[in-house]
Amino acid sequence: MKIALFGGTFDPIHRGHIEVARAAQQQIGLDRILFVPANVPPHKAEKPRASFFDRYAMVVLATMQEKAFVPSLLEAPAEGPVPAAAAKKSSNPLSAPRNYSIDTVRRFKQTLKQSDRLFFLTGIDAFKDIAKWRDPEALLQECEFIVASRPGFSLADVANALPAGIRPPAAAIKPFAKQEASGPLVLRGATIHLLANVHQPASATAVRQAVAGKKSANRFLDPAVADYIRKKGLYK
């Protein structure tokens, strides 16, 4: 099976996240995508606005109609109640509080068969800081990456973001400065599949700002997620 981990704060999950997952599923032929809300994201200065379990519940609601999309508790806090409704559709093979991607990937790989292929799905904005992640070279060797790009990013930008140990020489990168970030990129120590121009009609920041300003964010959200935010009074 081809399985991808899609990590993020999902604060809240919106249509852009779903479009990225669908594009990855179609272009790479993924059998399953695990949506992995982070408890405490190590690379963000601000903590998530909503609690872990509210964010997990919204992921459950947003993915209920997609058989291949599975909410995961891989990065759930060590203690705390899991909402009964949210627990009905979950993947929690080895729940633990650690939030570094390298730890999550290694723990999850313990549950896989030898024939399974593991991917890590992320957006280009997160990937451009990959060299600052914990053990980035080891992470890139543990699994293949799927990176959702967008206009304005080139293959050279992707290559320059790599940690120094596997980054190609500057002279080799320069010719790709104007080449769109798309297709597979196979390097020594890293395999990266680039999804070009994935339509992402929303951002979590825009959703939170709309709700805080008492404006409708429904066009960005699954109806069930929008209803959950309203009932719980989130982001006001």
pLDDT over threshold 90, residue 2: yes
- Of the two residues 40 and 94, the one the predictor is more confident about is 40
Assign 3-class secondary structure to 56-104: HHHHHHHHCCCCCEEEECCCCCCCCCCCHHHHCCCECCCCCCCCCHHHH
pTM reported for the whole predicted model: 0.88
Classify burial at 11, counting beta carbons within 10 Å of its beta carbon; exposed 0-12, middle 13-18, buried 19 or more.
buried
- Give me the pLDDT at residue 53, please: 95
Contact assessment for residue 11 and residue 54, using Cβ atoms and an 8 Å cutoff: no
Q: Taking the chain, what is the end-to-end CA distance rounded to the nearest angstrom?
A: 41
Q: What is the mean pLDDT of residues 125-154?
A: 94
- Give me the pLDDT at residue 199, please: 67
CATH value at residue 176:
3.40.50.620
- Give me the pLDDT at residue 205, please: 86
- Give me the pLDDT at residue 152, please: 84
Q: How many CB atoms lie within 10 A of CB 178?
A: 8
Q: What is the mean pLDDT of residues 57-65?
A: 97
Q: Total domain count for the chain?
A: 1
Q: How far apart are CA 158 and CA 144, in angstroms?
A: 14
Band of residue 85 on the pLDDT scale cut at 50, 70, 90: very low
Nearest to 204 by CA among 67, 32, 10: 10
Band of residue 38 on the pLDDT scale cut at 50, 70, 90: very high
- pLDDT tens sequence across 153-175: 899 999 999 999 999 999 999 99
Q: How far apart are CA 15 and CA 18, in angstroms?
A: 5
Contact assessment for residue 70 and residue 28, using Cβ atoms and an 8 Å cutoff: no
DSSP 132: G
Q: Which two tokens stand for residue 134?
A: 């914990």
24 membership: H or E segment, kind and range:
helix 15-28
Q: Which two tokens stand for residue 37?
A: 């809300």
Q: Which residue range forms the structural domain that includes residue 138?
A: 2-232
Backbone angles phi, psi at 72, to 5 degrees: -125, 145
Q: How far apart are CA 8 and CA 17, in angstroms?
A: 10
Average pLDDT taken over every residue of the chain: 88
- Give me the pLDDT at residue 88, please: 47
Backbone angles phi, psi at 154, to 5 degrees: -115, 170
Q: How far apart are CA 69 and CA 92, in angstroms?
A: 14
Band of residue 8 on the pLDDT scale cut at 50, 70, 90: very high
- Give me the pLDDT at residue 97, please: 47
- Give me the pLDDT at residue 95, please: 42
Q: How far apart are CA 62 and CA 9, in angstroms?
A: 14
Angle at 221 between CA 215 and CA 225, to 5 degrees: 100
4 bridge partner residues: 33, 119
